């Protein structure tokens, strides 16, 4: 999902460690609701821009979830696929526009004769799969076997997230606050019967074992081993890679230094451009 993935890339932490476990969720203890808000209390860990700013470096972000949250030395001045699905020609056209924008950046670097001196990373936060109405599992249809009251449900799609409100008969408080998450198979969603009919749309948030949920990672520049292809890896590895390129001391995270060594050359220095 967009917010957990972006923040895992930026911090090198799994969602359970950085705190942003969904795009919106409820704190089961306090009842406070997170809905993409900027209150620093939700955003744990140390994102790259904070690592850089804390170590006296300049860092700039644009449109990165979490980057507007004030943290330590960091203060910051302030989607088409979901609507149509990834197979729609309008999405292909949008991808073409993004591709041309990236082309402009690369042409600009080449014109200034610094393309081979700048480390550039192209990546995505997740893949996307087409999800059609006919693939919706209506919770009400399951009532015969399992009754799930509507007020237990925090999210329907792409995972069914529930916070069961057990009665007073439950003695164990941790059981009372148990969150249940039902993983959906690729392309499936859950919903209410009154959701109505809609056309196919794009969705993500499924198990990352599905190829459709995977994204790209392309690194270019003096620190990347040229022509090196690596097997799929988890996005918590990326924080260490960027910290190493920038010569920053990484905060503790879930990535491994082995991965960094496998894609970066040990030589090379990184200068700061004024």
Shortest Cβ 125–Zn ion spacing (Å):
4
The count of residues interacting with Zn ion (CB under 5 A) is 2
Strand partners, 115: none
d(CA 126, CA 259): 20
Shortest Cβ 66–Zn ion spacing (Å):
13
Stretch near Zn ion under the rule CB under 5 A, chosen from 39-47, 123-131, 192-200, 222-230: 123-131
Closest residue to Zn ion using C-beta atoms: 2
Does residue 2 interact with Zn ion by CB under 5 A? yes
Residue 273 Cα distances to 120, 158, 222, 223, 260, angstroms: 14, 42, 15, 16, 23
Stretch near Zn ion under the rule CB under 5 A, chosen from 90-98, 121-129, 145-153, 214-222: 121-129
Does residue 125 interact with Zn ion by CB under 5 A? yes
Pairing of strands 120-123, 217-220: antiparallel
Does residue 61 interact with Zn ion by CB under 5 A? no
Does residue 256 interact with Zn ion by CB under 5 A? no
Does residue 24 interact with Zn ion by CB under 5 A? no
For residues 126 and 81, is the Cβ–Cβ distance under 8 A?
no
Name the residue nearer to Zn ion (CB basis): 79 or 144.
79
Three-state SS at 217: strand
Closest CA to 39 of 60, 14, 69, 63: 69
Shortest Cβ 232–Zn ion spacing (Å):
18
Q: How many CA atoms lie within 13 A of 56 on its CB side?
A: 1
Residues that bind Zn ion (CB under 5 A): 2, 125
């Amino acid at each position: 999902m967009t917010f957990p993935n972006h923040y895992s890339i930026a911090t090198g932490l799994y969602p359970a460690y950085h705190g942003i476990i969904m795009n919106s969720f409820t704190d089961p203890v306090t009842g406070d609701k997170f809905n993409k808000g900027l209150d620093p209390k939700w955003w744990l860990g140390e994102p790259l821009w904070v690592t850089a700013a804390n170590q006296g470096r300049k860092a700039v972000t644009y449109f990165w979830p979490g980057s507007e949250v004030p943290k330590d030395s960091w203060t910051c001045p302030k989607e088409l696929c979901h609507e149509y699905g990834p197979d729609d020609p309008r999405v292909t056209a949008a991808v073409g526009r993004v591709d041309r924008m990236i082309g402009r950046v690369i042409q600009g670097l080449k014109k200034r004769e610094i393309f081979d001196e700048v480390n550039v990373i192209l990546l995505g936060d997740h893949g996307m799969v087409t999800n059609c109405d006919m693939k919706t599992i209506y919770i009400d249809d399951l009532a015969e076997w399992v009754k799930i009251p509507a007020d237990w449900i925090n999210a329907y799609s792409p995972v069914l997230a529930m916070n069961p409100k057990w009665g007073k008969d439950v003695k164990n408080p941790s059981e009372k606050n148990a969150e249940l998450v039902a993983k959906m198979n690729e392309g499936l969603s859950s919903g209410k019967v009154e959701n109505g009919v809609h056309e196919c749309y794009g969705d993500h948030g499924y198990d990352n074992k599905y190829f459709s949920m995977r994204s790209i990672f392309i690194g270019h520049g003096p620190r990347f081993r040229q022509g090196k292809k690596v097997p799929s890896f988890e996005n918590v590895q990326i924080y260490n890679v960027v910290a190493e390129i920038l010569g920053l001391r990484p905060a503790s995270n879930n990535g491994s230094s082995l991965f960094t060594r496998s894609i970066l050359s040990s030589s090379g220095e990184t200068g700061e451009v004024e």
